[in-house]
Every structure is written in structure tokens, then in C-alpha cells.
Amino acid sequence: MAAVCQSRRALVEIPAPQPKIAARMRRSYLEILSGRTSPSSPLPRARNAATSQRRAQSLDSDISGSWSGTLEEQCEKMEEQHTPLSNQQLVQLIRSIILVEQSQEPRILTSDLKYLQEDLQLKKSNVYRSIPYSRLGSNRDAHCYRKAYPHLLAFKVSCQEWGQVLLRRKEWDSALEHALMAWRYTGELPQWDTASHNALREQCYNILAAHCLTALQHYHPEASRGRDLLRRFKIAQVHSQSIAPCVQELQRIVGRVEDSSMDTK
């Protein structure tokens, strides 16, 4: 009986606690990983902190300085920092970019409108490139409009700023050509499903019509040139009635020029 009790006690004996080696194994595993990458010492940590601080300072200086890159690059910088811009800040950003382009490209301030046409073509292409086409629904809805809005605003500011540059230089004929050219590109912008989203297109038309009216108040073209401009103005009137005052003004100028030419004969 005593032997049985003794064996029973042997079955329920609790062994002595063994030393835990899991923590040591975890430490050695981490040491192996850290050894493959870089030694764990306070000096590299200080270097990493200093490097990250220098990167942050350089990024802040890029944003606070002059905007010399394209609109795509600047928008990517702001997306990396997760700091969305308001409409006013976005307009100021685009105007700053255009001012930098004006200072770096003096050849655009001539009567040659090739550069301005390339600029409008680029702005329009950026609008279409920003629209996601791999969607099951409409690619003219509010989501696609928000994607394209910065580029639409860049197109509008470009029309406004370059037109004002030509007017300030009193290049009236070039201002009319630029307005008609920008009018055609404005008509090629996408039509959105929501009517309020098309308001920016009408704003572009109003800006270009104002430039045309200002140029016509100082410019008196010849009869042939006036008739050609009048024909193009009537074609532009199909897209928007904002140019109607310009058509009336140009008809008055052409009629006066033709009357004066008849009197001289």
C-alpha cells in the first residue's frame, strides 16, 4: 500500500521550473537582423535623426521658396506632406509658377504665340490625364472633377495671366489671337455631369471675352483683318454668348473702316 501511494506521489510531482530561453532566443534573433542591416549604436540613430531633420528643413524651404517646378511636381509635394491647399492658395501657387515661367522664358513676350499655344495644349492635356478612366461609372462625375480641378484652375489662370501680359505690352493683335486660340481650347475641355462643375469653363470664356473687348477698344484693324476676326468671333459665339459684346464692337469698327475707305475713293 505504501508502494502504491509512493508511485502516486511520483505521478503528481511538479518538476523544478526550467529557465526560460524564449526571451534570449528573441534577443539573439533581433541581434542577427540588426547585424545584417546596421549595428545598433546611438551614433547611427543620431545620424538618422539629423538626416531626417535636414530633409524636413529642405522640404520646407522648397515650399516656402519660389515655385520653379511644374504643377504636377508641386501637387505631388503637397500630397506627400498631406497638407491640402485651399482655392486661394492654389490660385496663388499657379500664378507663382506662371511668374517663374515668365522670368525664365523671355521669348514668350513676343508676337510669336507658339509657346502660348503649347502651354494651353499642355494644360488641357493635364486635365485629361488627371481623369481616372479605369472606373465602372461615369468619368465625368464629382470624383473625376475633383481630380481634374487643379489642372482646370491652372488652365484658367494661364488664360488670364498670359492675356494680361499681352495687353500690358499693348500687343493688341496678339492678344486677340491668344484669346481666340484659348477660346478654342476652352471649348475642348471636358463637360461634367454636374452643371455647377462647368462654371469654370464659363469663367474662362468671360475672361477671354474681356481681353478681346479691351484689345478692340485700342486696336483698329484693317478691313480685311477686321472681317477675318469678325468671322472667327461669330464662330466662337456658338460656344458661348460671352463674346457677343466683342462681335458688336468689331462690327462697329469694321463698318467705320469700310466707310472711311469708301470716302477716300
Cα 146–chain centre separation: 11
List the CATH code of the domain at 71-105+113-264.
1.20.58
- The helix/strand/coil state of 236 is helix
Helix (H) or strand (E) holding 85: none
Instruction: Please give the sequence-ordered ranges of beta strands (E in DSSP) within the chain, or none if there are none.
Output: none
Three-class DSSP labels, 111-170: CCCHHHHHHHHHHHHHHHHHCCCCCCCCCCCHHHHHHHHHHHHHHHHHHHHHHHHHHHCC
Look at residues 220, 229, 222 and name the one whose alpha carbon lies nearest to residue 247. 229
Residue 78 has pLDDT above 80, yes or no: no
Q: What is the pTM of this model?
A: 0.63
Q: How confident is the model over 157-201, as pLDDT tens digits?
A: 999 999 999 999 999 999 999 999 999 999 999 999 999 999 999
Place of cell 506521489: 9
Confidence band (pLDDT; 50, 70, 90) for 113?
confident
- CA–CA gap between residue 75 and residue 66 (Å, rounded): 14
What's residue 233's pLDDT?
Answer: 96
* Domain chopping of the chain, boundaries: 71-105+113-264
The CA–CA distances, whole Å, from 38 to 11, 47, 254 equal 51, 12, 80
- As a whole number, mean pLDDT of residues 233-252 equals 94
Least confident residue range of 23-27, 160-164, 229-233: 23-27
Helix (H) or strand (E) holding 94: helix 87-104
Specify whether the CB–CB gap between 166 and 102 falls below 8 A. Answer: no
- CA–CA gap between residue 105 and residue 88 (Å, rounded): 26
What's residue 44's pLDDT?
Answer: 44
